[in-house]
Amino acid sequence: MADIAETLAQELPGVTRDVPLAPHCAYRIGGPADYLYVARTSAELVRAATLAAELDLPLTVLGQATNVLVGDAGVRGLVVLARNAETALDGEVLTAGAGALLPAVVTDLAQQGLAGLEFAGNIPGSIGGAVVGNAGAYGRAVGDALIDVQVIGGGQADTLVPADLRLGYRSSAFKQDLRAVVVTARFALVGGAPGALLDEIARDAELRHRKHPFEYGSCGSFFKNPASDLPAARLIEDAGLKGLTVGRAQVSVDHANFIVALPGAAAADIRALADEVARVVFERSGIRLEREVTLLGFD
């Protein structure tokens, strides 16, 4: 372990050890990473991913951690925060670093009269996280505009197109068996009117502020909707679970598909409540809710 620590310190300047992940997560919950590295450029992200492969060290790359629940015992190996936020436009083609913030990118595109991702203007998180989860809203998803993704997997660089990524509703090959890091992604945009695009983003923000419980930590919707006309929130609400509390975790009283962290919540509370919600919904409706949020460090 001492060798690994030394090598990491030499090769990844600034890497830190036994660092709590809670401050980096939307849930504000989570135990320590064995090693934490902040990759500020794509070259740094590639270097970290390559080194982890060389050292056979478990690697977890996070964007803004708005779709992960980190366990109380933390995450083993190297955790990398992707902060490579560079973007470039070539006509109507956007290239964005995995660490670029989705809302900032989309707002900037709208101001420049470029449409195609405006539905995602208020989805918190990074470009990399959005590709991995095929983030979306209003029946649209970032994968609809994706041209290709530059990845590094097992130390090898590659370019993957949507057909390689098995994109689906809040899912992709990255969430299944593809062990690769998103370094940059390219999106195809179309011309649009800046005013109309910015209005659409503002209307969505206003709607979210009315519906979402922003006062507590959460990852947004905890479960996937079983079907487009069958929201998980309705199933949870119909099962009488709004407000249900386990430890310091609560089914939000404002939005039944948000499992919020009340002050002092542990990851184990959130997980236990989510399991209980899924159990009761299945008992009442026969429908198995599938988590949208990724659990890290629970094994």
List of residues contacting ligand FAD (CB under 6 A): 26, 60-68, 82, 98, 123-126, 128-130, 132-133, 135-137, 170, 174, 181-182, 212, 218-220, 294
Tokens of 188: 């195809």
Based on the residue annotation, tell me whether 228 is a catalytic residue of this protein.
no
The residue among 41 and 285 lying less far from ligand FAD, judged by its C-beta, is: 41
The residue among 25 and 114 lying less far from ligand FAD, judged by its C-beta, is: 25
The residue among 269 and 292 lying less far from ligand FAD, judged by its C-beta, is: 292
Helical axes 2-11 vs 42-55, angle rounded to 10°: 160
**Cβ distance 264 to 248 under 8 Å?**
yes
Nearest to 225 by CA among 290, 293, 285: 290
Residue 235 — left, alpha, or beta (φ > 0 → left; ψ -120 to 50 → alpha)?
A: alpha
Q: How far is the CB of 288 from ligand FAD (least distance, A)?
A: 20
Q: What are phi and psi of 236, to 5 degrees?
A: -70, -40
Cα–Cα distance measured from residue 11 to residue 179, given in angstroms and rounded to the nearest whole number? 22
**CA angle centred on 147, ends 142 and 153, rounded to 5°:** 90
Q: How far is the CB of 283 from ligand FAD (least distance, A)?
A: 27
Cα–Cα distance measured from residue 78 to residue 35, given in angstroms and rounded to the nearest whole number? 5
Nearest to 198 by CA among 92, 115, 96, 123: 115
**Cβ distance 119 to 136 under 8 Å?**
yes
Name the 3-class secondary structure at 276.
Answer: helix
Catalytic residue (choose from 42, 172, 218, 292): 292
The residue among 113 and 213 lying less far from ligand FAD, judged by its C-beta, is: 213
Sort strands 294-296 and 68-70 into parallel, antiparallel or unpaired.
Answer: parallel
The residue among 151 and 277 lying less far from ligand FAD, judged by its C-beta, is: 151
Q: How far is the CB of 37 from ligand FAD (least distance, A)?
A: 13
CA 179 to chain centre: 16
Based on the residue annotation, tell me whether 218 is a catalytic residue of this protein.
no
Q: How far is the CB of 265 from ligand FAD (least distance, A)?
A: 15
Cα–Cα distance measured from residue 36 to residue 134, given in angstroms and rounded to the nearest whole number? 25
Catalytic residue (choose from 218, 221, 252, 271): 221
Q: How far is the CB of 194 from ligand FAD (least distance, A)?
A: 22
Catalytic residue (choose from 170, 171, 252, 271): 170
Based on the residue annotation, tell me whether 292 is a catalytic residue of this protein.
yes
Using a 10 angstrom Cβ sphere, with 0-12 exposed, 13-18 middle and 19 or more buried, the burial of residue 121 is buried
Tokens of 233: 């929130």
The residue among 82 and 114 lying less far from ligand FAD, judged by its C-beta, is: 82
Q: How far is the CB of 264 from ligand FAD (least distance, A)?
A: 19
Which residues are part of the catalytic machinery?
170, 221, 292
